[in-house]
Amino acid sequence: MSFGGQTPTIIVLKEGTDSSQGKGQIVSNINACLAVQATIRSTLGPYGGDLLLLLDIVHPAARILTDIARSQDAEVGDGTTSVVVLAGEILKEIKEHVEQGVSSQTIIKGLRRASGMAVNKVKEIAVNTSEGNKRETLSKLAGTAMSSKLIKRNTGFFTKMVVDAVLSLDQDDLNEKLIGVKKIPGGSLTDSLFVNGVAFKKTFSYAGFEQQPKSFKNPKIVCLNVELELKSEKDNAEVRVEQVSEYQAIVDAEWQIIYNKMEALYKTGAKVVLSKLPIGDLATQYFADRDIFCAGRVATDDLERVIQATGGSIQSTCSDIHPEHLGTCGSFDERQIGGERFNFFEDCPAAKTCTLMLRGGAEQFIAEVERSLHDAIMIVKRAIKNNTIVAGGGACEMEVSAYLHRYADKNVPHKQQAIIKSFAKALEVIPRQLCDNAGFDATDILNKLRVEHRKGNVWAGVDFDNEGVRDNLEAFVWEPALVKVNAIQAATEASCLILSVDETIKNEESAAPQAPQRGLPPGAAQRAVRGRGRGMPRR
């Protein structure tokens, strides 16, 4: 059977399957995203509350917001709350247009146009910081990143630690994974240490360890991927003997092999022997008798950082080790920190790594401190590679919003004008939410900000100290321009994706626990049907 020369596409669905589509489905998806936004918006800014929660988001559209938060964290390292709040507000503002029947494609075109203009405006007004005191600039950026975190009361203490940590890395590569973080319960926050080198917890030790020296000046260090235990020589071996003397010869040979290894290491002149694999009691005592420190089962990342700091290299054999294979450091010692003992390698000549030793009263608290420092470290890292900054406290968003309003009034006469103005209004959610979280009169401060930006005060933002408006560039509330650019782009992409999904097919009977497919929760399948009206069949 055909209609008008075309064969209709018929979808046969299993009984009990729910199919939702069209405008109602888009509105439903938007509402799900707004629920996520409402949950976390109260955490934005220096006066935002700290939530202790675990969100298990199963709605496919709402999970898009968690994805853009992850992408923001991976790309920039900070601004994860901002990007979710902004994406939710964009959807909230354009929800009315969806309900009025405006085509999704029209809205998407308008959002992409507004996003492009907003990004260009941020880049245009951004200030270049390549000239001037580099350390001071990085300290201001790190301080702003920490202002909304749990450690904001100790910003000065941790700002220096973060800047020192990033500047200790190889400036061409800036691999933040070479910044070791050790969490040690006990003490106060200000008992935390910055180690210009490597520190790791004392490894499992055998008898003889206490006889080893625990402090050296300018020692040579050898790093191994070799097991120094007797058992390793007899693994997977089967030998048939007829006389006791033959068995004794095999045992003697095993001992001779390990003694040869230890003697070869002793002859290198190394005073510190580290290995990824176990160093047994025989080797431990052998090294103790010769005033050599050894540690086996050293974690791979710790050993990698020792190599970066001391200039050595990992050896997979104990023979043919040359002086250039050995590392060195200014001082090595073992010290007690809290309830644990740590080995310290400091004053390293090739130091391209460092260690942050974090203290605190509870493990959960220290874990939150680590996350806060990670954001600040990523901000400083991005700032070194990108020298442009903008003012925070809602100043950048208000300036871009004012620009989009002016542009839409003069240059966009058709129906996309309303979409661009909705996008501009959505940008105001950042300063508004900052005011709400601080207990300020958001309506009054936003009106003052609009007036200031109309006068041309580009960096007018929220004054958290005096509940008013100020020039946040002069107040040193700085953020990398990259944070704002990435947040606008990610929020727009998420909004466009949610708008383009207008059909969900869900089979209730398949809700039994099973392995999730394609990243969706068990029992739910989602498909986006696009391009209808352009002659594309529904599949």
CATH code: domain of residue 190: 3.30.260.10
Average pLDDT over residues 334-361: 88
* pTM as predicted: 0.75
> Could you tell me whether strands 197-201 and 340-346 are parallel, antiparallel, or unpaired per DSSP bridges?
antiparallel
Is residue 530 within 8 Å of residue 39, measured between CB atoms?
no
Which range (56-65, 102-111, 236-245, 437-446) has the least confidence?
236-245
Domain annotation covers residue 295: yes
Q: Which of 197, 182, 211, 368 lies closest to 286 in space, CA to CA?
A: 211
- What is the residue type of 302? D
> In the structure, what pLDDT confidence band is assigned to residue 496 with cuts at 50, 70 and 90?
very high
Same domain, yes or no: 321 and 218? yes
Question: Do 161 and 177 reside in the same domain of the chain?
Answer: yes
Q: Assess if residue 261 is contained within a domain.
A: yes
Q: Residue 86's pLDDT band (boundaries 50, 70, 90)?
A: very high
Question: Residue 2 corresponds to which tokens in the numbers above?
Answer: 């055909």
Residue 526 has pLDDT above 60, yes or no: no
Look at residue 537 in the predicted model and tell me its pLDDT. 34
Whether the per-residue pLDDT at 536 is higher than 70: the answer is no
* Contact predicate 390/122, CB 8 Å: yes
C-alpha 306/C-alpha 190 separation (Å) is 26
Percent of the chain, pLDDT > 70? 86
Q: Residue 424 is part of a domain; what is its CATH number?
A: 1.10.560.10
CA separation for the pair 376, 365 (Å, rounded): 17
Residue where a domain terminates, one of 336, 367, 386 = 386
459: closest CA among 468, 469, 447, 467?
469
> What pLDDT score does 411 carry?
76
Per-residue pLDDT reduced to its tens digit, 205-226? 887 788 888 898 999 999 999 8
pLDDT at residue 317 tops 90: no
Q: How confident is the model at residue 527 (pLDDT cuts 50, 70, 90)?
A: very low
Q: Are residues 271 and 303 in the same domain?
A: yes
Domain assignment of residue 64, yes or no: yes
- For residue 203, the enclosing domain spans 198-350
User: Quick check: 31 and 60 in contact, CB under 8 A?
Assistant: no
Q: CA 444, CA 450: separation in Å to the nearest integer?
A: 10
Q: What's the rounded Cα separation, in Å, for the pair 497 and 528?
A: 9
Domain membership of residue 214 (yes or no) is: yes
One domain, residues 365 and 451:
no
Give the largest Cα separation in the chain, rounded.
Answer: 103
Per-residue model confidence (pLDDT) at position 397: 94
pLDDT digits (tens, 9 = 90+) for 268-303: 999 999 999 988 888 999 999 999 999 999 999 999
Q: In sequence order, which residues have a C-beta less than 8 Å from that of residue 185 and are 6 or more positions away?
A: 338, 339, 359, 360, 361, 362, 363, 366
For strands 331-337 and 193-195, give the pairing.
unpaired
| Listed residue (405, 406, 400, 476) closest to 431, CA to CA | 400
Q: What is the pLDDT of residues 121-150, one digit of tens each?
A: 999 999 888 766 788 888 888 888 888 788
Looking at the structure, tell me whether residues 470 and 427 fall in a common domain.
Answer: yes
CATH number of the domain at 323, please: 3.50.7.10
Instruction: Please report the DSSP string for 320-374 in residue order.
Output: S--GGG-EE-SEEEEEEETTEEEEEEES-TT---EEEEEEESSHHHHHHHHHHHH
248 plus 300 within the same structural domain:
yes
- Write the CB contacts of 34 (distance below 8 Å, at least 6 apart in sequence): 88, 91, 92
Task: Please write the tens of the pLDDT for every residue from 444-480.
Answer: 999 999 999 999 899 999 998 888 999 998 988 888 8
Q: Domain check: are 379 and 429 in the same one?
A: no
- What is the total count of domains within the chain? 3
Q: What are phi and psi of 453, to 5 degrees?
A: -75, -30
Distances, alpha carbon 232 to alpha carbons 208, 228, 279, 471, in Å: 20, 8, 11, 68
Residue 194 has pLDDT above 80, yes or no: yes
Q: 3-class SS at 280?
A: coil
Q: Which long-range contacts (CB under 8 A, 24 or more apart) does 50-59 make?
A: 50/150, 50/368, 58/521, 58/524, 59/29, 59/32
The verdict on 221 and 263 lying in the same domain is yes
Task: Judge whether 399 lies within some domain.
Answer: yes
**pLDDT of 231 over the 80 cut:** no
Same domain, 203 and 190: no
Cβ neighbours of residue 293 closer than 8 Å, sequence gap 6 or more: 212, 213, 214, 216, 219, 271, 272, 273, 287, 332
- 315: which DSSP letter? E
531 assigned to some structural domain: no
Residues in the chain: 539
Residue 1 pLDDT: 44
Whether 208 and 185 map to the same domain: the answer is no
d(CA 8, CA 282): 81
In this predicted structure, what is the pLDDT of residue 352? 83
Same domain, 246 and 374: no
Tokens of 54: 């675990």
Q: Give a three-class secondary structure readout of 360-418.
A: ECCHHHHHHHHHHHHHHHHHHHHHHHCCEEEECCCHHHHHHHHHHHHHHHHHCCCCHHH
Of 286, 344, 484, which Cα lies nearest the Cα of 400? 484
Q: Could you write out the three-class secondary structure of 35-94?
A: HHHHHHHHHCCCCCCCCCCCCCCCCHHHHHHHHHHHHHHHHCCCCHHHHHHHHHHHHHHH
Q: Taking the CA atoms of 151, 439, 54 and 83 in sequence, report the sign of the dihedral they define.
A: negative
Domain boundary among 325, 350, 375: 350
| Structural domain contains residue 241 | yes
What are the counts of helices (DSSP H) followed by strands (DSSP E) for the chain? 15, 20
**Could you tell me if residue 265 is inside a domain?**
yes
| 345 in the same domain as 202 | yes
Lowest mean pLDDT segment, chosen from 58-62, 232-236, 517-521: 517-521
In angstroms, the CA 463 to CA 433 distance is 13
Q: Residue 320's closest CA among 255, 267, 277? A: 267
Confidence label for 2 from pLDDT (cuts 50, 70 and 90): very low
Helices 281-289 and 244-267: angle between axes, nearest 10 degrees: 50
Q: Which band of pLDDT confidence, cut at 50, 70 and 90, is reported for residue 535?
A: very low
Compute, in degrees rounded to 10, the torsion defined by CA atoms 122, 125, 129, 132.
-160
